[in-house]
Amino acid sequence: MLTVAHELRSPVAAAQSLMRTLLRGLAGQLNSQQREILDRIESRHGLLLDLINDLLALAASKTYDPDRPLERMALSPSLLTVLDRVRDEAGGKGVALTSSLADAPLMVMANGDGLERVFSNLLGNAVKYTPSGGSVEVRTRAVDGGAEVSVTDTGIGIPEEDLSRLGDEFFRARNVRGQSIGGTGLGLSIVREQLRRLHGRMQVESREGQGSVFRVWLPCIQDP
């Protein structure tokens, strides 16, 4: 699976850069109809690349990689990296992104890639599913011998009947299907697989039309 996805990614990425060359007019001026068609091809292509990247991340999350053992690390640096990455996207669509991180270092057994995958899917979803004018708040705290990260948004929420299916591969809730909000339905499966490896858990509270809270809990290592 991992090899297949790798083999898929390089030609698709190469084709995308060729399309960008055409769109920039570097191979001659395009008329408006040609540009419109190429724009549509490029956007479909972007979806294909998202799918390949998510399949790769899901396969990597399910496979034990001896070169990437779990190690003792603080949780905040990975979270800050992801916060930095989504800040522009949130700002660009007019969603206020705030964070309030615990002073304690919250040491967990993990690896940086895995933690970033968890946080980037949760934060990416919160920003993506929150319309302009809304807010996303990230908090961390020590609780029950572990670290809790909560991501609260004022977005579109999740219909109650769909809550139990979150994390199923390719599952997307009723209120996003057929909408223009793109997605693969694999992000929460990636989160679920990562949490299985890290002995963590996830809890979701949501109300359709009002917003959602995703809480992730990871066991902490106490200082000797």
Ligand X SMILES: Nc1ncnc2c1ncn2[C@@H]1O[C@H](COP(=O)(O)OP(=O)(O)O)[C@@H](O)[C@H]1O
> What residues line the site for ligand X (CB under 6 A)?
121, 125-126, 129, 153, 155-158, 166, 171-173, 176, 183-188, 212
Q: How far is the CB of 67 from Mg ion (least distance, A)?
A: 27
> How many other CB atoms sit within 10 Å of the CB of residue 150?
18
CB nearer ligand X, residue 73 or residue 155: 155
With CB under 5 to 8 Å by kind, the binding choice for 157 among Mg ion, ligand X, none is: ligand X
CB nearer ligand X, residue 150 or residue 212: 212
CA distances from 54 to 67, 118, 172, 176 (A): 21, 12, 14, 18
CB nearer ligand X, residue 35 or residue 171: 171
Q: How far is the CB of 157 from ligand X (least distance, A)?
A: 6
Binds Mg ion by CB under 5 A, chosen from 76, 111, 125, 212: 125
Q: How far is the CB of 212 from ligand X (least distance, A)?
A: 4
> How many other CB atoms sit within 10 Å of the CB of residue 131?
11
Written as one letter, the residue type at 14 is A
CB nearer Mg ion, residue 186 or residue 198: 186
CA distance 54 to 70: 21
Between the two ends of the chain, the Cα-to-Cα distance in Å is: 41
CA distance 174 to 159: 7
With CB under 5 to 8 Å by kind, the binding choice for 123 among Mg ion, ligand X, none is: none
- Strands (DSSP E) contained in the chain are 71-74, 96-100, 107-110, 135-143, 146-153, 201-207, 211-219
Q: How far is the CB of 127 from ligand X (least distance, A)?
A: 8
Q: How many residues bind Mg ion (CB under 5 A)?
A: 2
Joined together, the tokens standing for residue 106 give 């919250």
**Between residue 170 and residue 199, which ones bind Mg ion under the rule CB under 5 A?**
187
CB nearer ligand X, residue 111 or residue 125: 125
Q: How far is the CB of 55 from ligand X (least distance, A)?
A: 12
CB nearer Mg ion, residue 146 or residue 185: 185
CA distances from 123 to 5, 10, 118, 187, 202 (A): 25, 27, 9, 11, 14
Q: How far is the CB of 88 from ligand X (least distance, A)?
A: 18
- Give the interface with Mg ion as residue ranges (CB under 5 A): 125, 187
